[in-house]
Amino acid sequence: MTACLRLLFFLFVLGTSAVAAEPAEIDWLKLLPPADLKAMQDAPPVDHNGPGAPTGFQFSGTVPEMDGQTGRIAGYIVPIETDAEGKLSEFFLVPYFGACIHLPAPPPNQIVHVALPEPIAMTDIYAPYWVAGTVKIQRHNDELGASAYAMTAATVARWE
Amino acid sequence: MNALPGLAWRSLANRRYSAGLSVLTIAISVMLLLGVERLRHEARAGFLRSVSGVDLIVGARAHPVQLLLYSVFHLGEATQNVSWASYRAIAAAPGVAWTIPLALGDSHRGYRVVGTSDDYFEHLRVAGGQPLRFAAGTRFAELHDAVLGAEVAANLGYELGDPLVLAHGAAAVNLHAHDEQPFRVAGILARTGTPVDRAVHVSLGAIEAIHRNWRFGTRIGPAPTRAELARVDLTPRAITAFHVGLKDRAASFAVQGRINAQREEPLSAIMPAVALQQLWGLLANVERALLATAACTVLAGLLGMLTAVLATLNERRREMAILRSVGASARTIFALLLAEAALLTAAGVACGVVLCQLLLALAAPWLGSRYGLILPVGLPTPGEWRLVALVLGAGIAVGVLPALLAYRRSLAEGMSVRT
Amino acid sequence: MPAESPPPLLRITDLRFAWPGQPELLAIPRFELQPGEQVFLYGPSGSGKSTLLNLVAGTLVARHGRVELAGRDLAAMAATARDGWRADHVGIVFQQFNLLPFLPMIDNVLLPCRFSARRRERALRRDPALADAARRLLAQLGLDQPGLLQRPVGELSVGQQQRVAAARALIGAPELVVADEPTSALDADARDDFLRLLFAECAAAGAALLYVSHDLSLRPRFSRSADLVALNRAMAAA
């Protein structure tokens, strides 16, 4: 009798944890091809002194295995487009804060372009968010240095 | 208890002056609360409506919020201009689909003059992708043609073909008018609910033309003749700022970075949506302070009502005794006083909503022309209804105190009024 | 077999009451009131008469003893039920300030009908509408001058106000009318008029009258009188 109850309890816990499981976390570095990753690790530290904006890396290579992967990435939201009511409909997800303001832009393969199926209330540019969805690789003209990755069917949640 | 509303209403009507004052206090505080909330909401929505489909805005090096304010909202001035050469270089860069040049600095009877090209009417979008539409007329055809925003035409009573004279500088009343070269209304745009409505649009060449005999803000020498203007090259030497639309939106970061990093001329490229969020970040504390102040006035109003009701409680002990004697329970007494508080609050809130609409209707034109804020007058938004519900709830909560006091006293005293 | 006598309208048995923290105010072993009886209860100030009236009406409850009104023990009822019972069976006239200033005269008279369906029904038995019942009662009490009904109650003389109060107590023919010094604020003529009318209307409605007063000169007009001081053992003990 008690063994039966214990089995039921175990199955219950298993079931609820499966239902409540978060999508797998995708590390930003996973989006970098190995060569780019090495170059970034070998690079000298950024010079914050001197005139002019610091230049960033211009990697745009992509990792083919990431295409179609579902998961969630933590990052900062840079809004691009709002709808008629001021709700956010399109944005870039970047790994660090200030990418659009005073730091150099991240390399294209460290930027995720997201167009939301449903506009959401405007997010805080100063706060980190989890964006979950399916990663897609976009074919771009590399000369422009456009973002290489996009995410479809995305949902946005505050980073806790 | 179907006797209650009637009794509560009559009881208040009997004390109509004190009740009226309570209602007025609550009404004024609710008016303030709703006004602030409407301002907050609409200002934000209005600002967000104004820019759509623009990937970057480029101007002389400046804080992103400043650049946004003068290029989109015509608030404030640029400290420097962008050279024509830099503009053309960026416009010709790979990946740039279109640009809209802007030359600011002149005004017409308080409204800003925007020197621009046909790209403005071609590519500018507002409010989530709406293109500009003409209510009357067409784009610039002649050199001295002007296209008016909807509000300029409506407020100043202009129609197609009417003449207008531009003034140098942004002051409403100006000593320096370009009166030797009058303009003609060639087109009037349909209403957009954005700063476009409050602008007078002319061609870049026209801006050059009217400044040919002006240096450092004053007139020098005679005005150029029509023949002279036809001969001369009217390409501007500099513009104030320009909008950029990219072939691939995803390249925004890269292009922005390149423009900001180039050494030829100090320029700033901003992403408009981000600059807007920065603006709101700056204003957030002001918003919060305003809302908190308004909430405090509501609290003061409700406490005023509480004082008024408590003050009358003593006089009404005989009333309570009479009601008890005819069979009202102590609970009925409680409900009666609560109903009075609810009626007072409800009346105050209703008056407050009406007063708020009146206030907005009065202030809207001034806010529009002075601060670029477009406040539609209309029924409260869902957010405002929520505030109304909160105030009602607070009023009832406040009313519980005297109701409870009356209840307990009624239980203790019964029908005898101990003086 | 002797016929069973009808139960008393009001029966007080071994009633004891004290205000919290105070010495015992009332100790009444027995008091009864029959239906239709008109009783003068002598009660000087300080004798606990207000407290007794509250107990009779059910606005106060004694922890010791029984107060049975129209067949029910008031202490055994829940508060709301007691209030309803009071509305159904009792009409009360105070010494002064009987009327709600924010209601017109007719509405003041009809107050008990708002709280008692029974009184409402009984009032409608004789008249087609409540307002008619009120007007008739007021006329019987001498308040039928043209234009009087529209006057705000605050403008009435004390005598007129007391009569309106009597009408309110009598609308819907309750079984018991309790009058607490109703004439002490009136001059002698007004007092006589009032008493005459009150007796007549109570008799017409079949209502018992419990008239509490310290004015002994009124006692001869009543068929029965009682002395609260004598009834109240607590007074004797003090």
The predicted structure's pLDDT at residue C121: 93
Cα C163 to Cα B211, B322, C94, C196, C198: the distances in Å are: 95, 15, 11, 11, 8
CA dist., res. B344 & res. B336, Å (int)? 12
Residue of A78, A81, A122 to mutate when probing chain B, most B C-beta within 10 A: A81
Query: Under a CB-based contact definition with an 8 Å cutoff, are residues B348 and B22 in contact?
Result: yes
CA dist., res. C210 & res. C93, Å (int)? 10
Q: Is residue C196 part of a domain?
A: yes
User: What is the distance, to the nearest Å, from the Cα of residue A120 to the centroid of all Cα atoms in its chain?
Assistant: 17
Put simply, whether B369 touches A (Cβ < 8 Å) is no
Interchain proximity A147–B250, CB inside 8 Å: yes
Query: Under a CB-based contact definition with an 8 Å cutoff, are residues C159 and C197 in contact?
Result: no
* Residue B280: closest C-alpha in chain A: A124
The helix or strand, by DSSP H or E, that contains position B243, with its residue range, turns out to be strand B241-246
The helix or strand, by DSSP H or E, that contains position A8, with its residue range, turns out to be helix A2-19
Q: Which two tokens stand for residue B27?
A: 């009404």
SS (H, E, C) chain C: CCCCCCCCCEEEEEEEECCCCCCCCEEEEEEEECCCCEEEEECCCCCCHHHHHHHHHCCCCCCEEEEEECCEEHHHCCHHHHHHHHHHHEEEECCCCCCCCCCCHHHHHCHHHHHCHHHHHHHHHHCCCHHHHHHHHHHHCCCCCCCCCCCCHHHCCHHHHHHHHHHHHHCCCCCEEEEECCCCCCCHHHHHHHHHHHHHHHHHHCCEEEEEECCHHHHHHCCEEEEHHHHCHHHHHC
Say which residue the tokens 């890396």 belong to: A57
CA distance B6 to chain C (A): 10
Interchain proximity C59–B414, CB inside 8 Å: yes
Read off the pLDDT of residues A72-130 as tens digits, 9 standing for 90 and up. Answer: 899 999 888 887 777 888 898 988 877 666 667 777 788 888 989 899 988 888 889 99
Residue with more model confidence, A45 or C234: C234
How many CB contacts within 8 angstroms connect chain B with chain C? 71
B411 closest CA partner among C2, B11, B403: B403
Interchain proximity B326–C112, CB inside 8 Å: yes
Q: Which chains touch B (3 or more CB pairs under 8 A)?
A: A, C
CA dist., res. B19 & res. B396, Å (int)? 15
Residue with more model confidence, C94 or A145: C94
Put simply, whether B93 touches A (Cβ < 8 Å) is no
The helix or strand, by DSSP H or E, that contains position B227, with its residue range, turns out to be helix B226-231
How many CB contacts within 8 angstroms connect chain A with chain B? 102
Interchain proximity B250–A125, CB inside 8 Å: no
Interchain proximity B278–A145, CB inside 8 Å: no
Whether B contacts A, i.e. 3 or more CB pairs less than 8 A apart, is yes
Put simply, whether B380 touches A (Cβ < 8 Å) is no
What value, to the nearest 5°, has the Cα angle with vertex B240 and ends B99 and B251? 35
Give contacts of C98 with chain B, Cβ < 8 Å.
Answer: 322
Burial class of residue B224 in the structure, from the number of CB atoms within 10 Å of its CB (0-12 exposed, 13-18 middle, 19+ buried): middle
Put simply, whether B16 touches C (Cβ < 8 Å) is no
Put simply, whether A78 touches B (Cβ < 8 Å) is yes
Residue C140 has pLDDT above 60, yes or no: yes
CA distance B16 to chain C (A): 11
Put simply, whether C19 touches B (Cβ < 8 Å) is no
The predicted structure's pLDDT at residue B369: 66
Residue of B408, B415, B417, B418 to mutate when probing chain C, most C C-beta within 10 A: B415
Put simply, whether C229 touches B (Cβ < 8 Å) is no
The predicted structure's pLDDT at residue B194: 85
Interchain proximity A80–B64, CB inside 8 Å: no
CA dist., res. C149 & res. B408, Å (int)? 35
CA distance C134 to chain B (A): 15
Query: Under a CB-based contact definition with an 8 Å cutoff, are residues C141 and C165 in contact?
Result: no
* Residue B251: closest C-alpha in chain A: A146
- Mean pLDDT, chain A, integer: 76
Could you tell me what percent of chain A has a pLDDT over 70?
Answer: 71
Put simply, whether B322 touches C (Cβ < 8 Å) is yes
- Mean pLDDT, chain B, integer: 86
From the list C50, C102, C115, the residue facing B326 with the nearest CB is C115
- Among A32-46, B46-60, C3-17, C44-58, where is mean pLDDT lowest? A32-46
Which residues constitute the domain of residue C200?
36-59+87-237
The complex's ipTM works out to 0.91
Interchain proximity A100–B256, CB inside 8 Å: yes
From the list A52, A53, A85, the residue facing B45 with the nearest CB is A85
When pLDDT is averaged across residues A23-29 and rounded to a whole number, the result is 82
* Residue B4: closest C-alpha in chain C: C114
B45 closest CA partner among B384, B374, B378, B386: B374
Put simply, whether C60 touches B (Cβ < 8 Å) is yes
Give the domain CATH number at C210.
Answer: 3.40.50.300
Q: Which chains touch A (3 or more CB pairs under 8 A)?
A: B
The matching CATH number, chosen from 2.40.50.870, 3.10.20.310, 3.40.80.10, 3.40.30.120, for A23-43+55-158 is 2.40.50.870
Whether C contacts A, i.e. 3 or more CB pairs less than 8 A apart, is no
Q: Is residue C118 part of a domain?
A: yes
Low-confidence residues of chain B, pLDDT below 50? 1, 419
When pLDDT is averaged across residues C98-123 and rounded to a whole number, the result is 92
Q: How many domains, in total, are found in chain C?
A: 1
Interchain proximity B253–A111, CB inside 8 Å: yes
C 72-111 residues inside an 8 A Cβ radius of B? 79-80, 83-84, 86-88, 92, 94, 97-103, 111
CA dist., res. C191 & res. C177, Å (int)? 17
CA dist., res. C238 & res. C234, Å (int)? 6
The predicted structure's pLDDT at residue A143: 57
* Contacts with C4 (C-beta within 8 Å, 6 or more apart), sequence order: none
Residue of A55, A58, A62, A80 to mutate when probing chain B, most B C-beta within 10 A: A80
CA dist., res. A81 & res. A75, Å (int)? 18
Say which residue the tokens 């489909």 belong to: B53
* Residue B45: closest C-alpha in chain A: A86
CA dist., res. B225 & res. B230, Å (int)? 9
CA dist., res. B417 & res. B257, Å (int)? 83
- In the DSSP assignment, the letter for residue B177 is B
Locate all alpha helices (DSSP H) within B269-329, ordered by sequence.
272-313, 317-325
pTM: 0.73
Burial class of residue C237 in the structure, from the number of CB atoms within 10 Å of its CB (0-12 exposed, 13-18 middle, 19+ buried): exposed
Residue of C19, C45, C102 to mutate when probing chain B, most B C-beta within 10 A: C102
The predicted structure's pLDDT at residue B418: 58
From the list C80, C87, C97, the residue facing B326 with the nearest CB is C87
A110 closest CA partner among A8, A19, A28, A27: A28
Put simply, whether C34 touches B (Cβ < 8 Å) is no
Put simply, whether B328 touches C (Cβ < 8 Å) is yes
Put simply, whether A115 touches B (Cβ < 8 Å) is no
Strand partners, C64: C16
The predicted structure's pLDDT at residue B89: 94
Interchain proximity B254–A55, CB inside 8 Å: no
When pLDDT is averaged across residues C42-55 and rounded to a whole number, the result is 86
The predicted structure's pLDDT at residue B372: 63
The residue length of chain B stands at 419
Put simply, whether A103 touches B (Cβ < 8 Å) is no
Could you tell me what percent of chain C has a pLDDT over 70?
Answer: 97
Interchain proximity B52–A82, CB inside 8 Å: yes
Put simply, whether A126 touches B (Cβ < 8 Å) is yes
